[in-house]
Amino acid sequence: MTTNRPAAVMLAPVARAAPQVVWEDTPCPLCGHEAGAPVLEAADPLPPNQTGLVFAVVRCTECGLTYTNPRPNERTAVRFYPADYHPHRRPGKMQQSRPTRPLLSRILGRPCNARRGALPWPGPGRLLDFGCGGGSFLRTMAAQGWRVTGLDAAVGAVQRVRDEHGLTALVGSLPHPDLRPGSFDVVTMWHSLEHVHHPLAILREAYRLLVPGGKLIVATPNIDSLPFRTFQRSWFGLDLPRHLTHFTPATLSMMLQAAGFRTEPVKLLRHSDWLRSSARLARTRGEGGLLTRVLAWKPVAKTAAWLCYVFGVSDCMMCIAERPE
């Protein structure tokens, strides 16, 4: 049900007024159950949006999915994305992908940027990158011979992808009138599924766009992780209120399967930058003590990220799913 009532509480007076946002209560985005048990409340970590609003995260008492509720509705959620939002920035200098070394990846852990390597498809094909941002992944895959299409709700980012890189990019979400069923071999969602209001509907549309046997690759934060349990409201992967669904390996697999996909086991990824960002945010909030100071140091964060990978508690994950033949 959509209402105009405030859905978050004010901590203290601030220099500028909170944005005029329309709030909505939502049932579970996976099973539709109405009851959600409180998990935590946290403020927006981005300085331009530190308005004093606190956003609630709940866990479905039926299926276990964690999600933000209440939340800004689709029309007004854009107000929480600053103009310099990092994923929408221009990509830096393109680097050559390193050869994949399976044994080394199993020992050291797959880094989060490993998506720039080969995709699970026999040779270059047709690729849709949902939530393409500044277009760095599109540019990398186009250089490898893929026929790429980007899709993003940020008009400025899409325009830059078109003008500066000469690549096909569309404004909007799924379903999109310019995209036909069965027109892609691979669909990628690199840290975009957690941003959408109706993730199950998005996944079902991705299923429709894929050819039989086509692959969907989804990467999201993992709320069932040691970094989340350590930092709680200061965990970088929380990113309220932009992140609306907070997946675990189990709930990500459940949602993909509910959309019709056949899933591979979820793979955990190393992300030391997230640990450092979480530590810095905790320090600004006066939390964590010595731990936050130590983890802000890059060599320690890299070691900690590797240990999280070894013990299966990393805060970043990826799942490859297939549309059955």
pLDDT at 48: 56
pLDDT at 14: 34
* 286 CB burial (10 A radius; 0-12, 13-18, 19+): exposed
- How would you label 94-126 residue by residue, b for 16+ Cβ within 10 Å and e otherwise? eeebeeeeeeebeeebbbbbbbbeebebeebbb
| Regions of the chain where pLDDT drops below 70 | 1-19, 48-51, 87-118
Residue 205: which H helix or E strand, with range?
Answer: helix 199-209
pLDDT at 289: 85
d(CA 270, CA 110) in angstroms, rounded, equals 6
